[in-house]
Amino acid sequence: MSKKIMAVDDSASVRQVQKFVLSSAGFEVLEAKDGKEALARLTTTPVNLILTDLNMPNLDGLGLIRGVRASAVNRLTPIIMITTESDDAKKREGKAAGATGWIVKPFTPDQLLAVVKKVLG
Amino acid sequence: MSALDTSQFAATYREEASELLGDLETSLLELESRPDDEDLVARVFRALHTIKGSGAMFGFNDIAAFTHALETAFDEVRQGHIPASREIVSLALEGKDLIRAMLEGDADLGKEARERVITALQQITSPAHAAPKSPPPAPKPPEEPARTYRVTFRPNHDILQDGTNPLGLFPELLELGRGEVTATTADVPKLEDIEPEHCYLSWDAIVTTSRGMGAVRDVFIFVEDRGALEVRVVDDGTETGDYKRLGEILVDRGQLSGEALDSALAARPKLGAILEEKGLASREAVAAALKEQQIVRSARADRAKAAQHDGQSVRVPAEKLDALVDLVGELVIAEARLRQVAARCDDPELFTISEDVERLSAELRDNTLNLRMVQIGSTFNRFKRLVRDLSGELSKQIELVTEGAETELDKTVIERLGDPLVHIIRNSCDHGIESPAVREASKKPATGTVTLKAYQSGPNVVIEIQDDGAGLNPEAIREKAVARGLIEADAKLSEHDLYQLIFVAGFSTASAVSALSGRGVGMDVVKRSVEALRGSIELESRRGLGTTIRIKLPLTLAIIDGLLVSVGDGRYVLPMSLVEECVEITKEGVDQAHGSHLVPVRGELVPYLRLREWFREGGDRPPIEQVAIASAEGMRLGFAVDDVIGQQQTVIKTLGKMYGDTEGLSGATILGDGTVALIVDVAGVIRTLTTSSPPPV
């Protein structure tokens, strides 16, 4: 069974790219447009990996990470946060909140796959 | 990895960015009237952030670079460093228009305007944050010489909590180059103390790579804050001298104290090192020799381990084992009682315990019985001497071949088997194997062979004694049997049935009683001994080719599978191994049979007897009786009982002197409720019936 990845980003185009890249690599990709929608689904749906933007309306990436880590279903699921090079403080905050790793935007498809592979082991 | 083309998503980006620009405009206009609204600032920042981030991903680098300046400015606003002034909002609105122009057309248009906006923004924002934040892309590290790195990673216990899979790190590390990874399990606590979500492992790795320290560290980039990582160069790729000794490495790693190493080394220097230093042997030669030593040592160590494993035994007096088997028997009985009580009480908890005890006692029983199993080989060995002596005495050339000496049997069975086997082998040598002259005349090798073979077959062990002698003479047997009144002169018997006559009491085929075979002890004694072990014996013979005697024995004597039946108030056990099936007879059926004790079983009439009558139990027969069809002594006999209660593990207890010789009983057992059930000696009953009342002439 292919592994499930939840891609959370308020940018439809980013999600589209992620979906394209990850499904080409054999993953099943679920999408959510913000932290709130993602968390609602992640409290019931187990996934193998969560890929989340940090800056999002409703519930931001940090809130999502904290929420997921406090949930039952995806408590131990790896989370990759998508940061920008200017977001070093955010990155540390996210790591402290329980993110597994990060990828710096902009990223190439190969970089995305490399990080996903690294985290999924 | 194949590069994936994401340019197909550029249209989506344009659309999305266009929408975001619309939002941005609305937010900025609102912000102009409500400059303190944090939500509005956040919305503006997010819009810019997304336009920038996605833009870079789809190759809109100019948009990304320009938007970055706007984003930086609004990050300052967001963090409260600068106010959302009319000036900054104006610049943002102008910037928004410039972005749209870039989205829709030539990026060169408005280049000057963009530069002006950027400069203006930089003047507004605080100097600390104004510095252009576009770090030059990290240049690809130049190819370095291949260095060897020692990587130690000791993760915190909670590393798994953030979804990290530390196991994934090492394959990634080894992608950098050749290496070895060793997991340290010393910190893994006892099973009951293990927190399943804690990581107790740590790792030592050695990797040789030309990608540099940075690449090695990058593997652990996500986990640096989740444990202690140490990366050290242990070989810088230039040194050509010998590497550290084992002890030095261990001390270097902090896994051995210097004093401990010194005291260990004080013992004596290594020969290889001396030879090498003095130039008496080349380094390669020593290394090759050391390799040989290492390989041979490990092979020998394996063998030693296996041998140690084999030889690791404890000698225990047989009585202790017997006592243990007795106790296990008692436990099995107590367990049966517990099971009965549990079934009655309808208490699920008690029932669960009873089930556990049942399982445990069954395992204990099997293990204990297994302790009594010994290899038959030791018994085999004593026959070698016997056959050698017999050869001399009988002036024959006989060789004993044994097979399956490792076959295991209950100690008691093996002990009691010795005498019957001696008898059979004597018979084979004495009567079976011909003299060398006779053998040569019939074109057989002068040396005769007696083969003693043991093997396991299901729940039984089979022992075969085979000789390549003359075989039995059916006519001679017939004559003797008739002469001794065992069969009628005109009795029609198959060759096979004739052969079985030699097991009948008083039959002896030897025309002269030899000193060795002894006097008056025939094969009937052998047969009784085997049956006392709940075994069976049969004989096959081919004239001129030889005779095979096959003894089938149960693996153990102490506990059997029994069929528990009831007659009136009495309980009896029939050995399950002998019971073929159970049928019913009704009162009408019995009446119609006119007193004949025959029951139809699958189209065949089988004689039966009533245990009630045999053991003189009181009470009346039920309208429907159960008949357990058992087979022994080459015939089938039904045992009519009131009821068949069921199958159960039966611990055999001897009856003691007083009842030991009771006909038809081979022992007793204690049932779950404490009452005693008698074990029916099926073969004995059949024997009594067939010998005491010979068919009318």
Q: Which residue has the tokens 């008698």?
A: B678
Q: CA-nearest residue of chain A to B197?
A: A76
Contacts of A120 in chain B (CB under 8 A): 165, 168
Q: CA-nearest residue of chain A to B75?
A: A86
Token pair for residue B20?
A: 């975001």
Strand order in the sheet with B559-567: B643-651, B559-567, B570-575, B676-680, B665-670
pLDDT digits (tens, 9 = 90+) for B413-423: 888 888 888 88
A46 cis-preceded (ω within 30 degrees of 0): no
pLDDT digits (tens, 9 = 90+) for B112-157: 888 888 888 888 776 544 444 444 444 455 556 677 888 888 888 8
Consecutive H or E run containing B624: strand B624-632
- B355: CB partners within 8 A, 6+ apart: none
Interface residue A5 vs chain B (CB under 8 A): no
Torsion, CA B653, CA B656, CA B662, CA B665, rounded to 10 = 0
Q: What is the pLDDT of residue B627?
A: 93
Q: Which residue has the higher pLDDT, B390 or B557?
A: B390
Token pair for residue B588?
A: 């009408």
The pLDDT of residue B367 is above 90: no
State pTM to two decimals.
0.42
Chain center to CA of B237: 47
Cα–Cα distance, B668 to B573 (Å, whole number) = 8
Contacts of A121 in chain B (CB under 8 A): 165, 167-169, 171
Consecutive H or E run containing B609: strand B604-610
Selected residue of A3, A13, A107, A113 to mutate for chain B interface (largest B Cβ count, 10 A)? A13
Q: CA-nearest residue of chain B to A88?
A: B133
Pairing of strands A101-105, A79-84: parallel
End-to-end distance of chain A based on CA atoms, in angstroms? Answer: 16
Q: Are B462 and B550 in contact (CB under 8 A)?
A: yes
Range with the lowest mean pLDDT among B36-50, B502-516, B527-541, B681-695?
A: B502-516
CA distances from B158 to A70, B161, B164, B172, B200 (A): 15, 5, 10, 21, 9
Cα–Cα distance, B130 to B82 (Å, whole number) = 12
Q: Is the dihedral of CA B479, B485, B490, B494 positive or negative?
A: negative
Q: What is the pLDDT of residue B131?
A: 45
Cα–Cα distance, B556 to B127 (Å, whole number) = 94
Q: Which residue has the tokens 């249209």?
A: B11
Cα–Cα distance, B645 to B576 (Å, whole number) = 13
What single DSSP character describes residue B432?
Answer: I
Which alpha helices (DSSP H) does B246-395 contain, by range?
246-252, 258-265, 271-277, 283-311, 318-345, 348-371, 377-394
Q: Smallest Cα–Cα separation from B105: which of B16, B18, B229, B166?
A: B18
Token pair for residue B577?
A: 């191994």
pLDDT digits (tens, 9 = 90+) for A21-48: 888 888 999 999 889 999 989 888 899 9
Please judge whether B53 and A120 are an interchain contact, meaning their C-beta atoms are less than 8 angstroms apart.
no
Write the residue in A86, A99, A100 that is nearest to B133 by C-beta: A86
Share of chain B above pLDDT 70, in %: 84
Q: CA-nearest residue of chain A to B42?
A: A57
Share of chain B above pLDDT 90, in %: 6
Cα–Cα distance, B166 to B220 (Å, whole number) = 9
The distance of A1 to chain B (nearest Cα, Å) reads: 19
Confidence of residue B291 (pLDDT cuts 50, 70, 90): low
Q: Which residue has the higher pLDDT, B108 or B159?
A: B159
- A110: CB partners within 8 A, 6+ apart: B1, B3, B4
- B499: CB partners within 8 A, 6+ apart: B472, B474, B477, B539, B540, B541
Q: Are B153 and B228 in contact (CB under 8 A)?
A: yes
Q: Which residue has the higher pLDDT, B684 or B302?
A: B684
Length of chain B in terms of residues written = 697
Q: Which residue has the higher pLDDT, B613 or B694?
A: B613
The distance of B46 to chain A (nearest Cα, Å) reads: 6
The distance of A79 to chain B (nearest Cα, Å) reads: 7
pLDDT digits (tens, 9 = 90+) for B375-385: 888 778 778 88
Cα–Cα distance, B220 to B172 (Å, whole number) = 9
Q: CA-nearest residue of chain B to A16?
A: B9
Q: Is B458 exposed, middle or buried (0-12, 13-18, 19+ CB in 10 A)?
A: exposed
Contacts of A62 in chain B (CB under 8 A): none
Write the residue in B16, B165, B221 that is nearest to A121 by C-beta: B165
Q: What is the pLDDT of residue B603?
A: 85
Averaged over B359-388, what is the pLDDT?
82
Please judge whether A55 and B9 are an interchain contact, meaning their C-beta atoms are less than 8 angstroms apart.
no
Contacts of A78 in chain B (CB under 8 A): 162-165
Token pair for residue B604?
A: 């065949």
Q: What is the pLDDT of residue B137?
A: 47
Residue B95 identity? G
Pairing of strands B624-632, B635-641: antiparallel
Averaged over B208-229, what is the pLDDT?
83
CA distances from B423 to A23, B231, B379, B515 (A): 80, 78, 14, 13
Q: Which residue has the tokens 């004949």?
A: B596
The pLDDT of residue B681 is above 70: yes
Q: Exposure string (b/e) for B53-64, b if CB count within 10 Å is 16 or more? A: bbbbbbebebbb
Q: Smallest Cα–Cα separation from B59: which of B5, B101, B139, B113?
A: B5
**Orientation angle between helical segments B411-427 and B523-532, nearest 10 degrees:** 170
Contacts of A24 in chain B (CB under 8 A): 4
Q: What is the pLDDT of residue A49?
A: 93
pLDDT digits (tens, 9 = 90+) for B601-625: 888 889 999 999 888 888 888 889 9
Length of chain A in terms of residues written = 121
Other Cβ atoms closer than 10 A to B214: 12
Averaged over A12-26, what is the pLDDT?
86
Q: Are B151 and B253 in contact (CB under 8 A)?
A: no
Q: CA-nearest residue of chain A to B8?
A: A17
Residue B87, helix vs strand vs coil: helix
Q: CA-nearest residue of chain A to B15?
A: A13
Q: Are A30 and A41 in contact (CB under 8 A)?
A: yes
What single DSSP character describes residue B693?
Answer: S
Q: What is the pLDDT of residue B309?
A: 57
Token pair for residue B118?
A: 């950027």
Residue B234, helix vs strand vs coil: strand
Please judge whether B53 and A14 are an interchain contact, meaning their C-beta atoms are less than 8 angstroms apart.
yes
Consecutive H or E run containing B568: none
| ipTM exceeds 0.90 | no
Please judge whether A24 and B4 are an interchain contact, meaning their C-beta atoms are less than 8 angstroms apart.
yes
Token pair for residue B658?
A: 């007083």
Strand order in the sheet with B598-601: B579-586, B624-632, B635-641, B604-610, B598-601
The distance of B286 to chain A (nearest Cα, Å) reads: 41
Q: What is the pLDDT of residue B134?
A: 46
Contacts of B133 in chain A (CB under 8 A): 85-86
Chain B interface residues facing chain A, Cβ-Cβ under 8 Å? 1, 3-4, 6, 8-9, 12-13, 15-16, 43, 45-46, 49-50, 52-58, 64, 68, 71-72, 75, 133-135, 160-165, 167-169, 171-172, 197, 221-222, 225
Contacts of B45 in chain A (CB under 8 A): 55
Interface residue A73 vs chain B (CB under 8 A): no
Q: CA-nearest residue of chain A to B165?
A: A121
Q: What is the pLDDT of residue B642?
A: 92
Interface residue A111 vs chain B (CB under 8 A): no
pLDDT digits (tens, 9 = 90+) for B443-495: 888 889 999 988 877 667 889 999 998 888 888 888 888 887 778 888 788 88
CB-side neighbour CA atoms (13 Å) of B609: 16
Contacts of B157 in chain A (CB under 8 A): none
CA angle B540, B541, B544 (to 5 degrees): 165
Q: Smallest Cα–Cα separation from B567: which of B622, B522, B637?
A: B622
The mean pLDDT value of chain B amounts to 79
- Paired with B202 in beta bridges are B184
The pLDDT of residue B639 is above 90: yes
Averaged over B149-170, what is the pLDDT?
85
Residue A3 identity? K
Token pair for residue B364?
A: 């204990």
Write the residue in B3, B53, B221 that is nearest to A105 by C-beta: B53
Interface residue A89 vs chain B (CB under 8 A): no
Q: Which residue has the tokens 């065949």?
A: B604
Token pair for residue B483?
A: 């002469």
